Structure 1
């Protein structure tokens, strides 16, 4: 269970993941050794999964985002596993989610432009196994995308 000090460390890390242990310790009212032990425990228990650089792929020239809602032909025994394995190999598929319900899988695809998206769709998406139906939702705007948790 997290206590107030753990939550304070998590808030500080979310505000600036590049902070050093010394800075975190100072702002959390801990010694460096205490802060390090708590951070190690938060990592060991899986609360902190890692620290990463978040790259804005739009700034890298990827301008098209498409969410593909995929319904599988579930009469095939390994439909999920085979589709997921094949979709993981498509570099432009940057996120894969599975669901219970009418939609089985969501593939989040990025492309440089619509011509590039058409190529990706034709050459890679349509060749994925066991697809019964695909619904494409072209992204227009992000209203809220928050990775910060209220801890």
Structure 2
């Protein structure tokens, strides 16, 4: 990282490599970016401390886990005050089936990516959980037939 806190070309290359393979050994990462192990470790530590790297996780095979049904739910709220948004956001964080939640500027307020085992499970989550989150006025569902690109970044 440059002295002014900006990312340089080596930092960016390290981040690209780590986004594809978070388990790469530091020695291999260092070699790929043209550094020795110690400077690579220092850069990696700085990138974590600066918040460029939020963590490392395993990418699971949803199909093998029986969770290959993906639906996107558009959510409209009755109230979009900061308090209402905060209450909805807090509620979303408690629903394990909601994989992603995005606040949207447009005809609806939020777009949720919901992963379940099948349409019946999705219907249950939608009817019993999502619809009862704070300030939900209505929803509209779009079912994913196939993930063409799912890079996670």
What's the TM-score once normalised by structure 1's chain length?
A: 0.84
1:49 aligns with 2:42: no
For the structure 1 residues 86 and 16, does the alpha-carbon distance in structure 2 shift closer, same or farther, using more than 3 Å as the test? closer
1:16 aligns with 2:21: yes
Q: Determine helix, strand or coil for the equivalent of 2:138.
A: strand
Q: Distance in 1 between matches of 2:26 and 2:82?
A: 50
Q: Tell me which of the two structures has the higher relative contact order, counting C-alpha pairs closer than 8 angstroms and 6 or more residues apart.
A: 1
**1:68 Cα deviation after fit:** 0.7
1:79 to 72, 84, 101: 84
**1:47 Cα deviation after fit:** 1.8
Deviations 1:78-132 (A, max 9, x none): 3222222222222211211112332111222111112212222222122222122
Q: Determine helix, strand or coil for the equivalent of 2:149.
A: coil
Structure 2: tracts of 5 or more residues without a match: 1-5
Root-mean-square deviation (CA, aligned residues, Å) is 2.1
What's the TM-score once normalised by structure 2's chain length?
A: 0.84
Equivalenced residue count is: 148
For the structure 1 residues 74 and 39, does the alpha-carbon distance in structure 2 shift closer, same or farther, using more than 3 Å as the test? same
Contact 1:76 1:130 survives alignment (8 Å)? no
Structure 1: tracts of 5 or more residues without a match: none
Q: Tell me which residue corresponds to 1:90.
A: 95
Deviations 1:31-84 (A, max 9, x none): 211111111121122222222111122220013111111111027773222222
